[in-house]
């Protein structure tokens, strides 16, 4: 399977920037939603699983544009919070009726507050990402990536987006402090690498 162009099915500019860095190359044109006549409001997420959400995004955009599309769904899973926020990471706080949670910073502060009495050894967590490639002919390939770490006691770093400032990798730095290394070790970076391997191997089957 050879890709010449692909649409990244996300309205999150941070995610799109990461995809453009990871997929950068002369043989592949990476498009954002601003480059095609479609809006993410047309895509319905079930919220039930990462893979279902990723497939829904990819299939909807590929069908509408006639261009191969990559859908992405990811989340932060905190062991001390029984796996929350999980698939609702982007909307966490709203589902808890926390009216003051309106931004990424608010969500980070909410999590730090919920975990303020939990010592670092028990603040284990992971980022999980599922990416799905959908072709206009409905060929779907999915891959997953996981990055293990800990929840910080306070935000660290100014790069990245989402929960990056409060997620620590094993060396003690946050995802917002490691620059382009993030694209190699992150959940999304691992999932995309696995997807590219599947594409280059000629795999053409649905694989969740």
Q: CA-based diameter of the chain, in Å?
A: 51
State the Cα angle at 55 between 50 and 189, rounded to 5°.
60
Which residues touch 142 (CB under 8 Å, ≥6 apart)?
51, 54, 55, 130, 131, 132, 133, 195, 206, 207, 208
Q: Which residues of 28-66 are buried (b: 16+ CB within 10 A; e: fewer)?
A: eebbbbeebebeeeebebeeeebbbbbbbbbbbbbebbe
Burial class from Cβ neighbours inside 10 Å (0-12, 13-18, 19+) for residue 89 reads buried
Question: Catalytic pick from 35, 73, 79, 171?
Answer: 73
Q: Quickly tell me which residue has 């997620």 as its tokens.
A: 167
User: 73 an active-site residue?
Assistant: yes
68 and 6 Cβ atoms separated by less than 8 Å: yes
70 and 129 Cβ atoms separated by less than 8 Å: no
Q: Quickly tell me which residue has 């694989």 as its tokens.
A: 207
DSSP letters, 69-100, are EEEEEEEEEEGGGTT-BGGGGGGTTTTTT-TT
Active site residues: 73
């Amino acid at each position: 399977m050879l890709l010449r162009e692909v649409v990244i099915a996300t309205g999150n500019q941070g995610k799109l920037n990461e995809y453009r860095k990871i997929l950068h190359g002369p043989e592949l044109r990476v498009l954002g939603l601003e480059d095609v006549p479609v809006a993410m409001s047309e895509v319905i997420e079930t919220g039930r699983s990462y893979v279902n959400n990723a497939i829904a995004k990819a299939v909807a955009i590929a069908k509408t544009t006639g261009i191969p599309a990559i859908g992405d769904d990811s989340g932060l899973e905190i062991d001390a919070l029984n796996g929350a926020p999980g698939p609702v990471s982007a909307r966490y706080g709203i589902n808890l009726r926390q009216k003051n949670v309106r931004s990424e910073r608010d969500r980070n502060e909410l999590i730090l507050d919920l975990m303020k009495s939990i010592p670092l050894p028990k603040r284990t967590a992971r980022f999980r990402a599922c990416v799905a490639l959908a072709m206009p002919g409905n060929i779907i390939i999915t891959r997953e990536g996981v990055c293990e770490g800990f929840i910080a006691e306070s935000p660290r770093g100014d790069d990245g987006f989402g929960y990056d400032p409060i997620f620590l990798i094993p060396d003690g730095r946050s995802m917002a402090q490691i620059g382009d290394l993030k694209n190699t070790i992150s959940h999304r970076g691992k999932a995309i690498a696995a997807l590219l391997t599947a594409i280059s191997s000629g795999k053409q089957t649905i694989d969740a």
